[in-house]
Chain A
Amino acid sequence: MKKVIALCLSLTLCTTLLIGCSKQAEETSTETTATAADTTTETTEATEATEPVEETVALGEGVLSEEEATLRIYAQYSDDDTIIPYDYAVEQLAIAYPNVTLELEVQAQDDGQKLMTYAATGNLPDIYQVALAQIENFKESGNIMVLNDVAKSTGFEDKVFDSAKNILYNEDGNIYAFPYAGNEYVVWYYNKAIFDKYKVEVPTTYDELLAAIETFKSNDIVPMSIFGAEGWITAAMYDVLATRWDADGIAKLDDGKGAPTEEAYVNAAEMMHTLVNAGMFQDSATSTNYDQASEMFLTGKSAMFLNGQWYMTDATGILGDDVDWMNYPSYDEESYESGKVVWSGGGAAAGYAVNPNSEKAQLAAEVAAFISEKYCEAKVMYRGTPLVALDVDAEPETEFPPMMEKLQSVLPEITSITKFDWHLTNGTFKTTLEDQTKYMLVEDYTAEEFITELSNSLTQ
């Protein structure tokens, strides 16, 4: 009996294995056929390329290509700011590229490790979202396509705002990714209702800020909630302070054009230490995440909040007219006024990149350009932000929040922006800056220690 059971199990195992193999063979066979068909299509298209008139006639209205393909795409798809633009882009893609299907793989929040693993194993998706630091890595290993020609042929290059040209071209002058986000800004939000209630004026100098902190603390209000569990926001806080003394902020250190021992950076570190010791942030600042810190601000437990300009829609949605942004306070009135045109934030040559080893690399590049453009449209139409990379013909579904309109009105006057933490190119400096600015939230961590560690990172 046992032998019969064993025999049955073995047969089942063998059959399953064979079915699996045959399926694989079938898939391979289909792929081979598809590749052959594609080659034919490409050949036909290549021939048609010499007869542009015929090609224009052949395509339907709004159709850019009838080429058939399934492309793997690795993209962010986790919140409204990423889901809405992606869904809109896919919807539009179905019209312009009716025979292209996208297979979405949601980007992991893992410091780019999954993408690195894909690159190392030769399994990169056809299109992928990439950060600046990874572009540098992928350039060396030939895992990223140069998109100069596609940017020209699709008209993408011409649509980029002049003010956003800096985020299109890499330092070597090439285009490696199609950006969609424009230059973005670190915004110092405040709750007007709380300021009014405790009769606190919007601070323009650090002395006024310290006085405001004292008032809020004596009334059990956290002066500013910060999500110190994330390094980028503490780095942004430091950058905001540093730009009061040196307009280039942390970008200058990242570019190797300055040293942390310079007066501006030392002053900024000392000021951050002073603010922390005055009780500017909540007690558990180093372990507070974004949701917790934002909740504090939106529920009136904290009076101020630091975040990007993308927070305006959400903040206005909950606080309405009670929320506004202020210019960064400075060390004196004069520098406060002159510093109004100097902002922390910026952009980088990052966005949708293409795998050069993709079987449909050319088509993938065109699709990547198309998706980036549609992202810009969606952001303007549905996300209440005009800060996109391309000049798109789109109108917002609802009016921009008043805070955004206020920001838009000052944008033309801005003379200098720095870099967001994730746009820094020196990886060692970036991680040290994140760690050390988080460390600065601890009362007994001194400015001297901070400067020493930052200097050490740059010598590495």
Chain B
Amino acid sequence: MKKFYSNKLAIFFFTLPALLVFSVMVFYPIIQVFVKSFYDWNGLGSGTFIGFENYQKLFRDTVFKLSNKNALIFSVFITIFQITLASVFALAVSDQKTKGRNILRVSYFIPVVLSVTVVCQLWLAILNADSGLLNQLFKALGLNYQQNWLSDRNHAIYVIAFVNAWQWMGYQFALMLAGIKAIPIDYYEAAKIDGASNFQAHTKVTIPLLKETYKICLTISLTGGVKAFTEMFIMTKGGPGNATYTLTYLMYKAAFREYRYGYGMAAASILVLQCIAIILVINWLFRDKEKKEVA
């Protein structure tokens, strides 16, 4: 193996196909997004260079501010919901004493394998203000709590975030369960010999050793929240009005419905920068202790 790593030519040729595919399919389009954000471009032809005009318009756009606010709400909501529940469920399922562990494990993961469209349609039916299951349930229980779940301008974003969190919690759960299973059992035995309770074993052993898993989970949920689109598109079309717009939806609207591709690319550029910023911050927060001390 050492011989292989010292052969630079072999490394070059073996990584070349992947690098080429990555460059053509990912890197080049991202560069194009930034380049075209400086153009007045309708998607056809080469467009006209207009400098920062698209960005100036974007920062003046009230919908841009609303989209960022929604992205923040969405990201924070799904992160808290998914990571908290996934942690609790993963710890519970990893415990040998928990009854029905296999059924629970499968149940938590089922929503993940469903199509987003199916999940959205399911929740649309449940949340329908006139005939939805949820309102009918409240009615049957005699509770006067029937709501226009998706028409409430202040709360619709939370409802959509809940649908996303409900579906993808299982994914975080699977990552955490895999992380927990990778922790050697000896650590828990040592902790028990030292007199640690189950709770203490988890707080002192499991959670600290899941640091890398949490880092991945946080990255997935926060960036996923910032670039949320599908649920809004299917359930509310960004509505009511533009109450559930995110930056991705704003980009879609500008480019694909208004043929203002340059403006859409400006929104996409901001989105890319936001995602990079999130990843950098998470990496900084989760950096190794030694490195922190050096810093």
Task: Please report A residues at the B interface, Cβ cutoff 8 Å.
Answer: 111, 113, 116, 119-120, 133-134, 137-138, 140-141, 143, 229, 231, 282-287, 427-428, 430-431, 435-436, 438-442, 444-445, 453, 456, 460
Contact = CB atoms under 8 A, between A and B. Distances in A.
B111 interface: no
A286 B57 contact: no
B239 A438 contact: yes
B44 A120 contact: yes
- Is the contact region of chain B dominated by helix, strand, or loop, or is it mixed? loop
Given A140-B44, A140-B45, A286-B150, A435 B242 contact: yes
B242 to A, nearest CB: 5
Nearest to A289: B124
Contacts of A140: 42, 44-45
A247 B239 CA distance: 29
A127 B150 CA distance: 41
Contact of B257 (A120, A143, A286, A431): A431
Contacts of B128: 284, 287
Given A229-B237, A283-B130, A113 B260 contact: no
B43 A116 contact: yes
On chain B, which size bracket covers the interface?
20 to 34
B191 interface: no
A356 B257 CA distance: 24
Name which of A120, A134, A141, A442 has the most chain B CB atoms within 10 A of its CB: A442
- Is the contact region of chain A dominated by helix, strand, or loop, or is it mixed? helix
A284 B148 contact: yes
A445 B237 CA distance: 17
8 contacts: A120-B44, A283-B151, A284-B132, A286-B240, A287-B235, A435-B239, A441-B240, A442-B241
Contact of A284 (B61, B129, B242, B256): B129
Name which of A287, A427, A438 has the most chain B CB atoms within 10 A of its CB: A287
A213 B132 CA distance: 24
Given A111-B257, A427-B260, A137 B61 contact: no
Contacts of A284: 128-130, 132, 148, 150-151
B69 interface: no
A120 B43 contact: yes
Given A284-B130, A427-B257, A427-B259, 13 more contacts: A113-B256, A120-B43, A137-B43, A137-B259, A143-B44, A284-B148, A287-B235, A427-B258, A427-B260, A436-B242, A439-B242, A441-B151, A453-B62
A253 to B, nearest CB: 16
Name which of A133, A282, A284, A460 has the most chain B CB atoms within 10 A of its CB: A284
Interface string B121-140: 00010001110100000000
B253 interface: yes
A120 B257 CA distance: 16
Contact of A285 (B132, B151, B243, B257): B151
